């Protein structure tokens, strides 16, 4: 699974107010009937190297990265990055999500899908939601992979 997208935080939030070591990040994918396909809440711990899962803030304080080096990541989610893009537009952030060997049971007919990302609750950073249309998505690899792009 791969996802990359950008969104704007609520006016009361900034990138500096995001702290996934204090408030959880939740990833939810839903099918066209809003039935959850998967739901993962990432740990609020700091990354401590091999054998751990958690978050790191880079030296410039412009990127949070969650890494899972436990050998058994939650539903295969191995990396989530949150980038500060406020230089482009105030409150703008970019998300990158990578998963491997998880269970993502999307079948032909479940599309279009939507991805919801919660950075805490609405008062602590807000959420992002992306809904893909049927034209945005296509199955590849003999109907085993769904690719959605906007």
Query: Is the backbone peptide bond immediately before 75 cis, with ω within 30 degrees of 0?
Result: no
Distances in Å between the Cα of 25 and the Cα atoms of 7, 20, 97 are 15, 6, 12
pLDDT of residue 144: 59
Annotated domain spans of the chain: 2-148
pLDDT of residue 31: 80
Query: Residue 114 — very low, low, confident or very high, per pLDDT cuts 50/70/90?
Result: confident
Query: Residue 11 — very low, low, confident or very high, per pLDDT cuts 50/70/90?
Result: confident
Please say if the pLDDT value at position 122 is more than 60.
no
């Amino acid at each position: 699974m791969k996802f990359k997208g950008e969104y704007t935080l609520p006016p009361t939030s900034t990138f500096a107010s995001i702290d996934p070591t204090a408030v959880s990040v939740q990833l939810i994918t839903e099918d066209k009937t809003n039935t959850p396909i998967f739901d993962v809440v990432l740990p609020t711990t700091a990354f401590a190297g091999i054998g751990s899962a958690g978050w790191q803030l880079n030296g410039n304080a412009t990127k949070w990265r969650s890494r899972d080096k436990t050998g058994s990541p939650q539903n295969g989610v191995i990396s989530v990055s949150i980038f500060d893009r406020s230089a482009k537009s105030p409150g703008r952030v970019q998300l990158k999500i990578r998963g491997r060997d998880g269970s993502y049971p999307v079948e032909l007919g479940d599309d279009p899908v939507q991805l919801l990302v919660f950075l805490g609750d609405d008062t602590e950073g807000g959420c992002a939601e992306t809904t893909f249309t049927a034209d945005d998505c296509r199955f590849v690899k003999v109907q085993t992979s769904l690719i959605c792009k906007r």
